[in-house]
Structure 1
């Protein structure tokens, strides 16, 4: 096995880009535009605030002092493409559209009826919530999508997220032929500054909307109790940064040189670090990850005898003791 394959195997087993992430939020009250705020957060912290789910949104609101009246930038900005995603923040991996859907008509939210998923906008439907243990609950209260989402947040966990044909069947078993229910599937073109794939949104009812069509950046509106609004990115206001906790770990490497190189040669060690960093980048690890060698007795690598060499030494010692 060559060096490159050995490194790739070890790192794949030790690092998972999809592992849970924690964030510490920091409110900065120095007014800046969205781009200026983004630059400041990246220099001082990690980035403008990303929010993965309702629990993080409640945590973020907890950092806003009582009586604070300024709006607050977060790291959400319009992108070039519209994508479907779950309101829980999960990445979309399963769909079951009606024939011909989605048909390209611009709609924001998805509703479900027996037979598949329809697209709806600003209509009154029943809502399908998800309990903490994953059980679907049909709530027979007609509402718009945002009110349905709020109801599910308040009394359950979220609007329904469907991951498989079996879960889809479980939902259909709850519905009559005439029932149409909201689920947590939405469609938008908003992207997070740090590249996060979460599709969680917390818009105020009727938002995002801009009469001048320049509302390309998202903010937390304190006048709306923390709901999100869209506005022009060149406005100035306070902003929320986040900092990811520093994670430290030790990766142990076994390098076979065949006697052709010294692993403790500084040039060789630099090349090994470069290969590790390139592999980490391919797996989605950010550029703020740093790698350093851990030295023992002045060296990074220590010689480890192969099993064959150990057997030879054992045989030699045995022969010496017999003489």
Structure 2
């Protein structure tokens, strides 16, 4: 009786058991791992999340940021004291029971003010980042997608803002503002921060709209709005998220710098920059006044920069 030909009935074909079969099995397992075990290829965001979960830098920075946000919203988690309650008889005294960070020049508890100072800094950083990211993404995305005179006009306006020194601009702009709230500082940072986001969004949109799927959507009759919202925008937003995350830490440092110079946040607002400014003249006599708010500021800025670096590495396959 003749042997059956496996090529006549593929279902009865037997997989090779030699080196070729082992190689096919390994390739199949690798493909399954690449798809995350779900049978479907990972998207950019799911693949980035897969990478972030395995990155210790992301985990440490994310946990630290969550802790900072919690104490910014509910400082009562760590202290129930009033940061504006001071006792001049304890001016510049060191650590004491119940007051581990000592007292400042006005006799205020440094620990309580350091905890409550997170609210102003986090609020300025988050609000300024959201404002700059939304405004810059909108203007830069439209300029990159439509081009022409709109692109040229936006580029020249952005160049003007790039030429303004940040600290000098803050001294001029905020010196005429009498409000002690965070919103003038947020508005100033958004005013000078959107051009950077706009330039990143413009370049990302120009790259995305050259892809074949965008050209295919255009050939099928999709309108400009649909292509921008459904095809170009989602595939161009990753660089903007990376830059905005890193910029958030920079904006927190900028707020502290402006408050240190006396044109940012003003008393009675509790801010790390204000406390650093008050402690600077007494750094030799009472270094603890400067150490704790400056340390909290440095850790916060470092956490957001580390988070931005981790997100950048996860969203950019070239860096893996």
Structure 1-normalised TM-score?
Answer: 0.24
Question: Quick one: higher RCO (CA 8 Å, sep 6+), 1 or 2?
Answer: 1
More strand per residue: 1 or 2? 1
Structure 2-normalised TM-score?
Answer: 0.24
More helix per residue: 1 or 2? 2
